[in-house]
Amino acid sequence: KKIKITFFVTGRWADKNSDILKLIYKHGHEIGNHAYSHKMHSRISENENYLEIKNTEEAIMRVLGIKPKYFAPPSGDYSIDTLKIAKNLGYETILWSVGTIDWREDSTSAVIIERVMKKPHNGAILLMHPKAATVEALPYLIDKIQEQNIKIGTVSDLIQ
């Protein structure tokens, strides 16, 4: 559909999927930091928060040679320490406004479409995961959102 979006990747995923990460970036998509191992940041120490974010930054830099601008805490879970550490490392913390809940077993493409289309989209950040039902729903969602004259883009596009 020739759109560019932001992929928030974990450091663990970046380490295991460097070729895919390079391909995503080569196609013009933005890469964000999603912590190393998808821990609940409100439940880990200040040092663990730092390591989760920093180790992901280093994993992405090893593969792509770039430092992401944005940090999205796993499950939207964070503490004041998480926010301070992310900021001190030069990140803007990002959450989403429309969740597809596509990670659940009962999330068919029809359910995902319904969850997304009942929400306002202008200025929204949609949370999606690489699931088969999401892949199936995505072309329809892109078409319907674009029919509303809403541009789909990266987090940087939204913030600028």
For the chain, strand residue ranges (E) read: 6-9, 30-33, 70-71, 92-93, 98-99, 126-127
Q: What is the pLDDT of residue 40?
A: 97
What number of other Cβ atoms are within 10 A of residue 84's Cβ? 13
Angle between helix axes 46-64 and 80-88 (nearest 10 degrees) is 40
Q: Considering only CA atoms, which of 106, 153, 131, 159 is closest in space to residue 1?
A: 153
- Output b/e per residue, 43-62; b: 16+ Cβ within 10 A: ebeeebbbbbbbbbbebbee
Residue type, 20: I
Q: What is the pLDDT of residue 16?
A: 98
Question: pLDDT confidence of 145, banded at 50, 70, 90?
Answer: very high
Q: What is the mean pLDDT of residues 53-70?
A: 98
Residues forming a β-bridge with 127: 99
What number of other Cβ atoms are within 10 A of residue 72's Cβ? 25
Name residues whose C-beta falls within 8 Å of residue 129's C-beta, 6 or more positions apart in sequence. Answer: 100, 102, 103
Question: pLDDT confidence of 10, banded at 50, 70, 90?
Answer: very high
Q: What is the pLDDT of residue 69?
A: 98
Question: pLDDT tens digits for 23-43?
Answer: 999 999 999 999 999 999 999
